[in-house]
Amino acid sequence: MIIRHDLGLVFLHVPKCAGKEIRDLLLIGASADTSEELFNFAYSPILHRHVDLAHLPMADLVHWPHYRWLERYTVIAAVRNPYERLNSAANEYFRQRSREDEAIINGPGITEAMRRHYFSQLPLAHSQRDPRFIHSLPMTWFTHQGSTPKVDRLLRCERLADDFQQLASELNLPAEMRAVAQATLRNRPLASEMPPSPSRLAQVEATMAHHLYAQDFATFGYPLHDTAAPAGAASGADADLEPMLEALCPGSLPSHAIPILERANQVEWHWGPRSSRQEAERLAATRSAR
* Phi-psi domain of 116 (left: phi exceeds 0; alpha: psi -120 through 50; beta: other): alpha
Residues 6-49 pLDDT 10s: 999 999 999 999 999 999 999 999 999 999 999 999 999 999 99
In a domain, 168, yes or no: yes
* Residue 12, strand partner residues: 77
Burial status of residue 170 (CB atoms within 10 A of its CB: 0-12, 13-18, 19 or more): exposed
Residue 145 has pLDDT above 70, yes or no: yes
Residue 282 has pLDDT above 50, yes or no: yes
Percent share of the chain, pLDDT over 70: 90
In a domain, 207, yes or no: no
In a domain, 185, yes or no: yes
In a domain, 217, yes or no: no
Angle, CA of 248, 77 and 124, to the nearest 5°: 20
Alpha-carbon dihedral 215, 135, 167, 163, rounded to 10 degrees: -80
Find the distance separating the first CA and the last CA of the chain, reported in whole Å: 22
Structural domain including 145 reads 1-80+139-191
Instruction: Give the full edge-to-edge strand order of the sheet including 35-37.
Output: 35-37, 2-4, 9-12, 74-79, 153-156
Residue 195 has pLDDT above 90, yes or no: no
In a domain, 222, yes or no: no
Contact 122, 86 (CB under 8 A): no
Residue 138 has pLDDT above 90, yes or no: yes
Residue 237 has pLDDT above 80, yes or no: no
C-alpha span between 69 and 78 (Å, rounded): 18
**Residue 33 burial (CB count, 10 A):** 7
Helices (H) and strands (E) in the chain, counts: 11, 11
The average pLDDT across 166-190 equals 92
Query: Helix 82-97 and helix 112-127: axis angle, to 10°?
Result: 100
Count of the separate structural domains present in the chain: 1
Task: Tell me the pTM.
Answer: 0.92
Residues 82-120 pLDDT 10s: 999 999 999 999 999 999 999 999 999 999 889 989 999
Torsion over CA: 115, 121, 127, 130 (sign):
negative
| Residue 5 to residues 69, 152, 288, Cα–Cα distance (Å) | 9, 16, 22
Torsion over CA: 59, 61, 65, 69 (sign):
negative
Whole-number pLDDT of residue 231: 44
When comparing pLDDT for 199 and 69, which is higher?
69
Checking DSSP bridges between strand 35-37 and strand 2-4, what pairing results, if any? antiparallel
In a domain, 133, yes or no: no
Contact 8, 17 (CB under 8 A): no
In a domain, 29, yes or no: yes
Residue 193 has pLDDT above 60, yes or no: no
C-alpha span between 3 and 9 (Å, rounded): 6
HSE-up of residue 214 (Cα within 13 Å, Cβ side): 12
In a domain, 264, yes or no: no
Whole-number pLDDT of residue 135: 97
Alpha-carbon dihedral 195, 198, 201, 207, rounded to 10 degrees: 50
Residue 234 has pLDDT above 60, yes or no: no
Closest CA to 92 of 48, 137, 32, 60: 137
